[in-house]
A and B are shown apart, each in its own frame.
Chain A
Amino acid sequence: MPWTRDQMAERAAKELQDGFYVNLGIGMPTLVANHIGEDIDVTLQSENGMLGMGPFPTEDEVDADLINAGKQTITELKRTSYFSSADSFGMIRGGHIDLSVLGAMEVAENGDIANWMIPGKMVKGMGGAMDLVAGVKRIIVLMDHTNKAGESKFLKACSLPLTGKNVVDMIVSDLGVFRRLDHDSPFQLIELAPGVTEEEVRSKTEAHYEVAL
């Protein structure tokens, strides 16, 4: 059985280490917050100007001045700090954030990522995605292995406009996990979801990768 979205988030959460500052992208990556181990201490950054993001508020705690980058109401923690958008992206661009988990439309075998634009359709904008992939120390992509038409999203080369070139370090899909040791190395398939075979992954993957199960 391929992993569910929640199981994918759970797998990505295993990459978080004690003391990390982490930025979680909008959508599926936000689920990663639900799976952070109790034995590790992680500080979540929200690029609209907050370090130390807490859980959703109770009805009584809702505060219009306190939202995350997905524009959801949230709460603060004892460690929380607030700052400007310029300081926030100083943290991101300046390499102070340890890890970011992002969604993607396409990832290429050379580490390119496309996740902001489909030409000819409505373009919503890249938001902070280009800054995150350019500046954060380690980038994990959380995405379905194939698109709605059943085509591979892990490709030889991205067909959509890029968000960043050679920036992805790990892919967690519903079928398994790919990792590479550095930005000059090829991706390796290191893990399969339960019941998923290497043959199934190969048949649904256009990109070249090594197998290191």
Chain B
Amino acid sequence: MADKVYANAAAALEGLTVDGITVMAGGFGLCGIPEKLIAALRDSGAKDLTCISNNAGVDDFGLGLLLRTRQIKKMISSYVGENKEFERQYLGGELELEFNPQGTLAERCRAGGAGIPGFYTKTGVGTLVAEGKEHKEFGGETYILETGLVADVALVKAWKADPYGNLVYRKTAQNFNSVMATAGKVTIAEVEELVGPGELDPDRIDTPGIFVQRLIVGQGYEKRIEQRTVREAA
């Protein structure tokens, strides 16, 4: 069996970081982002990247790191409100931006990974999102055609993996990760813990290993929190 486990994030990216590639990155806000792989992608210096990710990180963490260094040419996202550098580059015309409704973005990745080139959805009908897209009626309702997305490289974050690339996520840190894992020509997963063969319950695998080509164990996860909201202990 091909060994999927790499020594570190830089090694896992080797041979893939060509200028102009399309990269998917999982996560919602800063929750469940592949923080080690994003940092290594920055260090690789690859530029003119198209990044598909629900959000764009914050100024000094997540994909915000790649914006700072001007490595991103285009973002496909649903919400980018937390990033001032993004705003500056976008308003200055230095960065292309394609907004997708969040569910459309998730389904585009799911479809791409499942070999489905397009699908019809009622999300966005009658809005800017529908402009230039094919419209079609089903049962008296109007739908628009959206296309599947595939990335040259998909970067995902999971909780645990085994050496075969089977992945398990934790709580809401799953979000886009399991969907994007299916849609990378090469998918690299970073995990908090690598367990031995047979130690993951086969009935409880979120991402089967066939979708994962490379794997690293990240050290010292920062897991930054954007909105720490608490209540008084009873």
Contact = CB atoms under 8 A, between A and B. Distances in A.
Contacts of B30: 71
B2 interface: no
Nearest to B222: A64
Interface in A129-150: 129-131, 134-135
B54 A85 contact: yes
B23 to A, nearest CB: 17
Interface in B1-37: 28-32
Contacts of B173: 64-65
A163 B106 CA distance: 18
B141 to A, nearest CB: 10
A85 B80 contact: no
A26 to B, nearest CB: 10
Interface in A60-75: 60, 62-74
Nearest to A124: B81
A126 B101 contact: yes
B230 A57 contact: yes
Given A71-B227, A93-B103, A161 B81 contact: no
Interface stretch (B40-48, B63-71, B125-133, B208-216): B125-133
A73 B106 contact: no
Contact of A66 (B104, B125, B172): B172
Given A62-B228, A62-B230, A124 B123 contact: no
Interface string B142-181: 0000000000000000010000000001111111111100
A57 B159 CA distance: 21
Contacts, number: 178
A129 B178 CA distance: 22
A100 interface: no
A187 interface: no
Listed residue (A86, A122, A166) with the most chain B CB atoms within 10 angstroms of its CB: A86
B232 A73 contact: no
A50 interface: yes
A48 B28 contact: yes
Nearest to A64: B223
A59 B233 contact: yes
Contact of B171 (A82, A84, A112): A82
B126 A162 contact: yes
Interface of A: 46-50, 55-60, 62-74, 76, 82-86, 88-89, 92-93, 112, 117, 122-131, 134-135, 161-166
15 contacts: A50-B171, A56-B229, A58-B230, A58-B232, A62-B230, A63-B171, A65-B173, A71-B227, A86-B178, A89-B107, A93-B107, A127-B101, A128-B101, A130-B124, A131-B103
The 7 closest A-B pairs by CB, nearest first: A89-B103, A165-B126, A124-B81, A131-B103, A64-B223, A125-B79, A85-B106
